[in-house]
Amino acid sequence: MKWRNRKQSSNVEDRRSHSGGGVSLPSIGTILFVWPVIKGLFRSKLGLAILGIAVLAYLGGFIDLPLLGGGSTRVVDEEVDNERAAFIRTVLADTEAVWSEIFAQAGSRYPAPTLVLYRGSTTSGCGPASAGMGPFYCPDDQKVYVDLGFFTDLEKELGAGGDFAQAYVLAHEIGHHIQNMEGTLAQVQMAKQQVWGEAEKNQLQVRLELQADCYAGIWANHAHKQFDILEEGDLEEALVAAASIGDDRLQKQARGFAIPHTFTHGSSKQRVEWFARGVKNGRLNDCETFEGQ
Predicted confidence at residue 43, as pLDDT, reads 66
- For residue 72, what pLDDT band results from cuts at 50, 70 and 90? very low
> pTM for the full model?
0.82
pLDDT for the residue numbered 34: 58
pLDDT at position 196? 87
Q: Do 104 and 135 form a contact (C-beta atoms < 8 A)?
A: no
Sequence ranges of the domains in the chain? 12-286
pLDDT of 68 over the 50 cut: no
pLDDT digits (tens, 9 = 90+) for 184-233: 999 999 999 999 899 999 999 999 999 999 999 999 999 999 999 999 99
- Report phi then psi at 121, rounded to 5: -155, 155
Task: Work out the pLDDT band at 69, boundaries 50, 70, 90.
Answer: very low
pLDDT of residue 15: 96
Q: In this predicted model, what pLDDT tens digit does every residue of 12-60 receive, in sequence order? A: 999 999 876 544 445 555 555 555 666 666 667 676 777 667 666 555 5
pLDDT in tens, 87-138: 999 999 999 999 999 999 999 999 999 999 999 999 999 999 998 889 999 9
β-strands 143-146, 114-117: how paired? parallel
d(CA 168, CA 219): 9
Nearest of 97, 223, 225, 245 to residue 167 by alpha carbon: 223
Region 136-163 average pLDDT: 95
Name the average pLDDT for the chain: 88
Q: How far apart are CA 213 and CA 168, in angstroms?
A: 8
Can you give the pLDDT at residue 18? 82
Q: From 167, 156, 140, 133, select the one nearest 37 (Cα to Cα).
A: 133
* pLDDT reported for residue 214: 98
What is the model's pLDDT at position 131? 87
